[in-house]
Amino acid sequence: MRRMFGFLIGILVGGLVGSTVALLLAPETGEELRKEIRARGEGLISDIRRAGEARQIELTQHLEALKAPRSTD
């Protein structure tokens, strides 16, 4: 759980740092820059959703495995 949380924090921080650098170094007009930032933000949100969905599937499978009856050998 901590690894996933750390991964998500890393994505968020990386996105913020990347956006800030893009703002400072962008040779584009304001409108073009806003469009690019919006697209990157949507991509970041999409990445976070996919990571969350993958983690949810993983945890659901793990829970099902724990619920399964154990064989008594």
Number of domains present in the structure of the chain = 1
Per the domain annotation, does 3 fall within a domain? Answer: no
pLDDT at 63: 92
Amino acid at 18: G
Quick check: is 18 in a domain? no
Structural domain harbouring 51: 30-55
Q: Is residue 39 part of a domain?
A: yes
pLDDT of 24 > 80? The answer is no
Q: Is residue 38 part of a domain?
A: yes
pLDDT digits (tens, 9 = 90+) for 2-23: 788 888 888 888 988 888 887 7
- Listing DSSP states for 12-70 in one string gives HHHHHHHHHHHHHH--S-HHHHHHHHHHHHHHHHHHHHHHHHHHHHHHHHHHHHHHSPP
